[in-house]
Amino acid sequence: MTRITGHTLIATTCCCMLYATPQYGSMNFSAWLYWTDGHKEGSLMPGGGGLRKCKCGEIYLLRESIRLELDAEPSTPQTQHLEAADLPHAVTSPNKAVELAARREYWMELNHDYRDLYRAHRDAEEVTSQAKWESDWHAANPDQRSAFKRDADWLLRRKPVGPPAIVDKPFSVPPYQPTQLQLENMTRLLELLLERAHEPYGPDMLEVAEIYRELGRFDEAKEALRQCPEDDRGNPEKVMEQMIDKAVTAPVRYRM
The 10s digit of each residue's pLDDT in 199-213 is 998 899 999 999 999
Q: Looking at the DSSP assignment, which residues form a beta bridge with residue 4?
A: 24
The 10s digit of each residue's pLDDT in 218-240 is 999 999 999 998 877 888 999 99
The 10s digit of each residue's pLDDT in 174-183 is 999 999 999 9
Q: Are 79 and 69 in contact (CB under 8 A)?
A: no
Structure letter (DSSP) for residue 172: -
Burial 80-118 (b: 16+ CB within 10 A, else e): eebeeebbeebbebebebbbbbbbbbbbbbbbeebbeeb
